[in-house]
Amino acid sequence: MIWILVGISPAWAEERFITVASTTSTQNSGLFDKILPAFTAASGIEVRVVAVGTGQAIRLAERGDADVLLVHHKPSEEKFVADGFGVRRFDVMYNDFVIVGPAAAPAGVRGLNDAPAALARIAAAGQPFASRADDSGTHKLELELWKKAGVDVKAASGTWYRETGSGMGATLNTASGLGAYAITDRGTWLSFNNKGTLAIMVEGDKALFNQYGVILVNPARHQHVKAKDGQAFVDWLISAPGQEAINAYTINGEPLFFANAGKLGS
């Protein structure tokens, strides 16, 4: 006897999905909730996001625990490809980082556009600063800025320098509760609802530029990588429909990310 099943999906049918290792900033901003349904509708491929710090996302991808990597620390991304873990890197989008702090501005940094100088003032004033301290792209950028400011934050750990070991949203919650300064990507900041007395203090420094890149994990390194479907996602992100979906995501009329895949990455 032959059974013909029409219009149903048997339980044993294989689900078509890919795993993307990405950052808490892209997740917390709401971007994925906005754009992934459009990709799934166009391709039939579900995207499952593992949102962690950039450093951890890269380690996941190196182990083959993801099909695609989408993070925001270009030197680490280029090393990932150079070491044979990724096929090719493409620019996807950018926004910027900002330094936020209590509206009373006790460190006197409001309006500065020199991020290292602002951090040096915060340290000199002994004002609380909440750091993600999680090896994320944001944390890597923060440490570079402290180095430029000539401040040894390791020595200050546990005093005015507070290390949360958490994602961007959780770290902003800590900053809000403490009345502390923090560095955040603008996308997460715009979507963050617990600002309290926090406000943007420093913006506009070229050092605060925040580029995101996407990379297919190398199937030659990990044979189980879903290369065809993973590449379909990469191709969609850098295509006109994907770039338009990114640009269309706004909060109160303000874009959270700016698509810029017109120039090929490394």
Q: Transcribe 237-251 into DSSP letters.
A: HTSHHHHHHHHT-EE
What are the backbone dihedrals phi and psi of residue 245, each rounded to the nearest 5 degrees, phi first? Answer: -65, -40
In a domain, residue 113? The reply is yes
Query: Would strands 46-52 and 17-23 be described as parallel, antiparallel, or unpaired?
Result: parallel
In a domain, residue 185? The reply is yes
The total number of structural domains that make up the chain: 2
In a domain, residue 117? The reply is yes
All residues at 6 or more sequence positions from 211 whose CB lies less than 8 Å from its CB, including other chains? 72, 74, 91, 94, 260
All residues at 6 or more sequence positions from 215 whose CB lies less than 8 Å from its CB, including other chains? 61, 68, 69, 70, 77, 80, 81, 86, 87, 88, 89, 90, 234
Q: Answer yes or no: are the C-beta atoms of 136 and 54 closer than 8 Å.
A: yes
- The pLDDT score that the predictor gives to residue 15 is 81
Placement of tokens 């996807």 in the chain: 92
**d(C-alpha 254, C-alpha 230), whole Å:** 30
* Greatest C-alpha distance within the chain: 82
Q: Answer yes or no: are the C-beta atoms of 199 and 101 closer than 8 Å.
A: yes
- The pLDDT score that the predictor gives to residue 9 is 44
- The pLDDT score that the predictor gives to residue 11 is 42
In a domain, residue 54? The reply is yes
Q: What is the pLDDT of residues 100-116, one digit of tens each?
A: 999 999 999 999 999 99
In a domain, residue 11? The reply is no
Placement of tokens 């926004």 in the chain: 95
102 and 59 housed in the same domain? no
190 and 111 housed in the same domain? yes
pTM of the model: 0.86
Phi-psi region of 208 (alpha: psi -120 to 50; beta: other; left: phi over 0): alpha
- The pLDDT score that the predictor gives to residue 14 is 64
136 and 70 housed in the same domain? no
**d(C-alpha 166, C-alpha 182), whole Å:** 13
180 and 228 housed in the same domain? no
21 and 82 housed in the same domain? yes
Q: Which of 42, 87, 38 lies closest to 67 in space, CA to CA?
A: 87
230 and 204 housed in the same domain? no
Torsion of CA 230, 83, 72, 238, to 10 degrees: -40
- The pLDDT score that the predictor gives to residue 148 is 97
In a domain, residue 3? The reply is no
- The pLDDT score that the predictor gives to residue 263 is 58
90 and 216 housed in the same domain? yes
Output the DSSP codes for 116-173.
HHHHHHHHHHT--EEE--SS-HHHHHHHHHHHHHT--HHHHBTTTEEE--S-HHHHHH
| Domain span at 134 | 96-208
CATH code of the domain covering residue 181: 3.40.190.10
199 and 218 housed in the same domain? no
- The pLDDT score that the predictor gives to residue 219 is 98
- The pLDDT score that the predictor gives to residue 251 is 92
105 and 200 housed in the same domain? yes
Euclidean distance between the first and the last CA atom of the chain, given in angstroms as a whole number: 57
In a domain, residue 8? The reply is no
In this prediction, the residues of the chain whose per-residue pLDDT falls under 50 are: 1-13, 264-266
In a domain, residue 9? The reply is no
101 and 41 housed in the same domain? no
78 and 126 housed in the same domain? no
109 and 87 housed in the same domain? no
